[in-house]
């Protein structure tokens, strides 16, 4: 099967790029996979791309920034989309040409504007899947109206949480479109898991207001007052750095809280810690939560919409606290700081529970979706809805995947030949 991802800019750094690369790498074990980058601004990708995955840029901003068509506004990419000003008549034309000539069996968009292109311009013979990496509630009413007009031409829409899949089904009303939760995956760690003895709390992500690192630093002041041997290490860069630096100084935490800058990959930093913290006001999924758990760290997180509650089992592999509640956050951190046995036990459980986000189970679910949609396309029958929520990923998914492949393999091959 040939699978094509349409990505905003594969040469940058971000959660959507990371998860797309992760899924593409895993799918390349069994399929022909390509990533099409609408934009390109540098020679090499910031993240490592599996050599089996083909990368194709459409508009190279190093040479085409002043192209006459790039100076004209886009007409297909919706004006209400966050990235609209980066798109143009040139991107409209290049994306349209790409989709008109694609030989992909499955084409996957990775943000609302690109999903609109896919819905309107991809050929009927191609399985068209839109991905939602934020949430339906994150979009303006104007954008939701634009999506409601275009999305019925998709074959499926995937969200990263079951909560958002439910919201899409209820609020968008997309008849004939299969809406399914497909979580992000995190590759198997290459380093031994954290031992739970080091006196470090670790956090990672962009230094932006929604991540609420000010809340975390304030809560850690309570931790440091009782346990001055413990440190908080925050990894990332962003517009909040100077403000957070001033807050650290104001709270006299310069010996306890450190802004470490960006680190890629983060795995080597996670395993140095004993507790992870995530304090966002809003988190569509929570990649850093999964990354930390896969390295054996229990995670203390705000119970914000939508991801953390679907990832963390409160009291088992981490703690969930109310959004914006500094005292509750400090108490949850201190609970784990004080209790070595509980911290290590929860870390081991986090390691076990997070295996449902390993590439194998997630790819098994993705392949089952692709196969169901391909067969539905060939037979003219609607694809059956998923048997259970997307987060219920277990080892048995391998058996289900293999059975589905065995049952549909001959039909898929026939469809593939017809498309070529």
- In terms of domains, do 346 and 384 share one? no
Is the backbone peptide bond immediately before 265 cis, with ω within 30 degrees of 0? yes
Which positions ≥6 away from 354 have C-beta within 8 Å? 186, 290, 293, 294, 311, 317
Is the backbone peptide bond immediately before 32 cis, with ω within 30 degrees of 0? no
Give the domain-ending residue among 355, 385, 401: 355
pLDDT (tens digit, 9 = 90+) per residue, 226-251?
999 999 999 999 999 999 999 999 99
Cα 232 from Cα 230, distance rounded (Å)? 7
Residue 247: which of 326, 308, 333 has the closest Cα?
326
- In terms of domains, do 94 and 220 share one? no
Q: What is the residue whose two structure tokens read 């986090």?
A: 350
Query: Which letter does DSSP use for residue 269 in this model?
Result: H
- In terms of domains, do 6 and 146 share one? yes
Give me the phi and psi of 363, to 5 degrees please.
Answer: -65, -35
Q: Where residue 214 sits, what CATH number does that domain have? A: 3.40.50.2000
pLDDT (tens digit, 9 = 90+) per residue, 278-322?
999 999 999 999 999 999 999 999 999 889 999 999 999 999 999
Cα 65 from Cα 227, distance rounded (Å)? 53
Give the domain-ending residue among 329, 355, 381: 355
- In terms of domains, do 145 and 280 share one? no
Residue 367: which of 386, 389, 392 has the closest Cα?
386
- In terms of domains, do 240 and 292 share one? yes
Residue 379, token pair as written in the block: 């037979």
CB atoms within 10 A of CB 342: 14
Q: How far is CA 259 from CA 169, 226, 235, in A?
A: 41, 21, 6
Buried b / exposed e over 265-298, threshold 16 CB at 10 Å, is ebbebbbebbbbbbbbebbbbbbbbbbbbbbbbb
- In terms of domains, do 78 and 168 share one? yes
pLDDT at 297: 98
Please check whether residue 191 lies inside any domain of the structure. no
Number of domains in the chain: 2
Residue 326: which of 334, 314, 338 has the closest Cα?
334
- In terms of domains, do 226 and 171 share one? no
Q: Is residue 218 within 8 Å of 255, Cβ to Cβ?
A: no
- In terms of domains, do 401 and 291 share one? no
pLDDT (tens digit, 9 = 90+) per residue, 357-407?
999 999 999 999 999 999 999 888 766 565 544 433 333 333 333 333 333
Could you report how far apart the first and last alpha carbons of the chain are, in Å? 11
pLDDT at 381: 75
**Segments forming the whole domain that contains residue 394:** 2-185+358-419
Please check whether residue 162 lies inside any domain of the structure. yes
CB atoms within 10 A of CB 241: 15
- In terms of domains, do 205 and 346 share one? yes
Please check whether residue 289 lies inside any domain of the structure. yes
- In terms of domains, do 365 and 292 share one? no
Q: Is 245 helix (H, G, I), strand (E, B) or coil?
A: helix
Please check whether residue 165 lies inside any domain of the structure. yes
Please check whether residue 215 lies inside any domain of the structure. yes
Residue 328, token pair as written in the block: 């509750």
pTM comes to: 0.85
DSSP string, 289-346: HHHHHHTT--EEEE--SBSHHHH--BTTTEEEE-TT-HHHHHHHHHHHHH-HHHHHHH
Q: Is 5 helix (H, G, I), strand (E, B) or coil?
A: strand
Give the domain-ending residue among 305, 333, 355: 355
Residue 12: which of 73, 61, 66 has the closest Cα?
61
Residue 17: which of 28, 6, 4, 26 has the closest Cα?
6
| Tens-binned pLDDT, residue by residue, of the chain (420 aa) | 999 999 999 999 888 999 999 999 999 999 999 999 999 999 999 889 999 999 999 999 999 999 999 999 999 999 999 999 999 999 999 999 999 999 999 999 999 999 999 999 999 999 999 999 999 999 999 999 999 999 999 999 999 999 999 999 999 989 899 999 999 999 889 999 999 999 999 999 999 999 999 999 999 999 999 999 999 999 999 999 999 999 999 999 999 999 999 998 899 999 999 999 999 999 999 999 999 999 999 999 999 988 999 999 999 999 999 999 999 999 999 999 999 999 999 999 999 999 999 999 999 999 999 999 999 998 887 665 655 444 333 333 333 333 333 333 333 333 333 333
Please check whether residue 208 lies inside any domain of the structure. yes
Give me the phi and psi of 122, to 5 degrees please.
Answer: -75, 145
Please check whether residue 324 lies inside any domain of the structure. yes
Residue 105, token pair as written in the block: 């069996």
Please check whether residue 190 lies inside any domain of the structure. no
Residue 83: which of 118, 60, 58, 113 has the closest Cα?
113
- Classify the phi-psi angles of 170: left when phi > 0, otherwise alpha if psi is within -120 to 50, otherwise beta: alpha
Cross-strand bridge partners of residue 277: 300
- In terms of domains, do 336 and 370 share one? no
Half-sphere exposure of 170 (CA within 13 A, CB side): 9
- In terms of domains, do 212 and 286 share one? yes
């Amino acid at each position: 099967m040939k699978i094509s991802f349409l990505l905003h800019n594969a040469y940058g750094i971000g959660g959507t790029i990371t998860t797309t690369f992760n899924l593409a790498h895993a799918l390349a074990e069994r399929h022909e996979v390509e990533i099409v980058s609408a934009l390109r601004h540098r020679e090499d990708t910031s993240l490592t791309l599996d050599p089996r995955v083909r990368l194709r840029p459409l508009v190279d901003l190093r040479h085409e920034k002043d192209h006459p068509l790039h100076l004209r506004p886009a007409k297909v990419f919706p004006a209400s989309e966050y990235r609209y000003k980066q798109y143009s008549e040139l991107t409209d034309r290049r994306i349209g040409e790409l989709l008109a000539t694609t030989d992909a069996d499955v084409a996957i968009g990775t943000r609302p504007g690109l999903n609109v292109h896919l819905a309107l311009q991809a050929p009927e013979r191609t399985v068209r899947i839109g991905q939602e990496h934020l949430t339906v509630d994150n979009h303006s009413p104007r954008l939701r109206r634009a999506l409601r007009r275009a999305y019925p031409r998709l074959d499926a829409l995937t969200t990263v949480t079951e909560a958002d899949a439910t919201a899409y089904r209820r609020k968008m009303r997309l008849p004939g479109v299969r809406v399914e939760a497909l979580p992000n995956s995190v590759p198997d760690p290459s380093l031994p898991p954290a031992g739970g003895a080091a006196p470090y709390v670790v956090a990672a992500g962009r230094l932006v207001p929604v991540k609420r690192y000010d809340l975390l630093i304030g809560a850690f002041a309570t931790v440091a007052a009782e346990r001055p041997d413990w440190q908080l290490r925050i990894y990332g860069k962003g517009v909040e750095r100077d403000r957070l630096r001033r807050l650290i100084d104001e709270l006299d935490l310069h010996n306890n809280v450190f802004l470490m800058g960006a680190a890629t990959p983060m795995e080597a930093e996670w395993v140095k810690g004993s507790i992870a913290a995530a304090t966002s006001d809003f988190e569509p999924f929570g990649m850093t939560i999964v990354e930390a758990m896969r390295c054996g760290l229990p995670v203390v997180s705000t119970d914000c919409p939508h991801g953390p509650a679907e990832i963390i089992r409160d009291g088992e592999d981490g703690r969930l606290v109310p959004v914006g509640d500094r005292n509750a956050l400090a108490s949850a951190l201190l609970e784990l700081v004080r209790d070595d046995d509980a911290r290590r036990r929860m870390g081991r459980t986090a390691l076990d529970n997070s295996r449902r986000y390993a590439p194998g189970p997630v790819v098994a679910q993705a392949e089952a979706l692709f196969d169901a949609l391909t067969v539905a396309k060939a037979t003219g029958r609607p694809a059956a809805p998923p048997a259970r929520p997307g987060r219920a990923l277990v080892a048995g998914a391998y058996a289900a995947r293999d059975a589905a492949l065995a049952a549909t393999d001959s039909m898929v091959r026939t469809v593939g030949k017809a498309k070529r």
